[in-house]
A = this chain, B = another copy of it.
Amino acid sequence: MLPVVVVHGGAGHIPKERAQNSTSGVSAAARAGYIVLKGGGSSMDAVVEAVTQLENNPSFNAGCGSVLNVKGEVEMDAFVMDGKTLATGAVSAVRDIANPTQLARLVMDKTSHACLTAEGAKQFARSMGIPEVPMESLITEYSRMRWRKNIAPDANPVECQMGKMGTVGAVAVDSEGVVACATSTGGMLNKMEGRVGDTPCIGCGGYADNNSGAVSTTGHGEAIMKVVLARLILFYMEQGQSAEAASDSALAYMKSRVDGLGGVVTVDPRGNWAARFSSRQMAWAAAQKDTLHYGLYTGEHFTQSIDEPH
C-alpha cells in the first residue's frame, strides 16, 4: 500500500473549457510526487514537489494563476506539516515569490517559528536566497479578467466567488509510514488586502500526525476555519472511522453547521486514502502501486498505469 500520494486542485465549479487542464495538472502533480517517493524521498519531499508543480501551473489558484485581491494584487498563503514530529511551517499574505510552499518548508526547517506573514515572510525569503519575481509573472489573463469582472459596478461578488477554483494541496505517506501534507493558495477572489484564509492555519488548511493520518483541505475558507476541518477529520479517524468515512462525516458537519462546501484529500499511515468533496467538482489524483487514479465529478474514479501519458 505504501508509498502513496494524493493531490487536489481545488474544490468548486470548474468551467468546462478548463476541466481537461485541471485533470491533467493534478495527474502530473501526483505523478511527480510519486516519483519522489519511489526514489526514496520523504512524504514531505513528495507533497512539496507535487504542490510546487501546481503552483507553477497557471491553471490553478496558487503561485502563478493565483486569484487577485481587491487591489488587483497577488497575496499567497501556504502550509506544510510533518506527521512524525508535528513540525509545521506556514506563510501568509506573501508576495512576489513563485513557490510559497517551498518557503513554508523553509520556515519549518530554518526558523524556530511556525508562521511568517506579509513583509516579514518576504524578508525571510530574501535571506534564504529565494529569487523575487515580479508580481506580473504570477498573474494570468484569466485571473485579471475575473478580477475586472468582479470590481465592475454590476458585479455580484458572491455569485462570482461561488464555485470557482480553490486552493491546491497534497498528502502522502512514504515507505517509512511517515505522513505529510502541503496546501497552497492565492486565496479568495477580490479578498481584502491582508486577508488570511484557512490554508496557513494549522488544523484548518491541513494537518498531519503519524498516529492518525494527514489531510489537505480546499473550499470555503472561512467555513473550513470555523470547524477546523483537517483536525476534525483526524479526530474522527482516531475514533475508528476510515479516511473516507471521516472525510465525509466532517464535510457533512461543515455543511450542516456553517453551510460551507469544500473538499479534502486524506490518507492514513497504512496508505488508505480518500478524495472527497461536497462542492460540485474537485480535480484530484492519487498515485499508488504504480497506478494513477483521478477524477473531477462526484463518483468519477478513473485509473491507468502511472507510466501511461495522461
Which positions 120-166 of chain A face chain B at CB distance < 8 Å?
Answer: 120-121, 123-124
Known A-B contacts A203-B203, A203-B204, A231-B203; the reply to A88 vs B226 at CB < 8 A is yes
Measured CB to CB, the nearest residue on chain B to A69 is B120
Checking B86, B90, B118, B225 against A257 with a beta-carbon cut-off of 8 angstroms, the contacting residue is B86
Measured CB to CB, the nearest residue on chain B to A222 is B114
Checking B123, B207, B258 against A228 with a beta-carbon cut-off of 8 angstroms, the contacting residue is B207
Q: Please classify the interface of chain A as helix (H, G, I), strand (E, B), loop, or mixed, using the class held by over half of its residues.
A: mixed
The reply to whether B235 and A113 contact each other, CB–CB distance below 8 Å, is no
- The yes or no answer to A111 lying at the interface (CB within 8 A) is yes
The reply to whether B194 and A118 contact each other, CB–CB distance below 8 Å, is yes
Q: Which residues of B contact A194 (CB under 8 A)?
A: 116-121, 123-124
Measured CB to CB, the nearest residue on chain B to A158 is B112
- The yes or no answer to A93 lying at the interface (CB within 8 A) is yes
Checking B116, B193, B204 against A120 with a beta-carbon cut-off of 8 angstroms, the contacting residue is B193
The reply to whether B115 and A196 contact each other, CB–CB distance below 8 Å, is yes
- The yes or no answer to A195 lying at the interface (CB within 8 A) is yes
Which positions 184-200 of chain A face chain B at CB distance < 8 Å?
Answer: 188, 191-197
Checking B87, B118, B191, B197 against A118 with a beta-carbon cut-off of 8 angstroms, the contacting residue is B118
The reply to whether B202 and A111 contact each other, CB–CB distance below 8 Å, is no
Q: Which residues of B contact A167 (CB under 8 A)?
A: none
**How many angstroms between the C-alpha atoms of A201 and B192 in the bound complex?**
18
Q: Which residues of B contact A193 (CB under 8 A)?
A: 119-120, 123
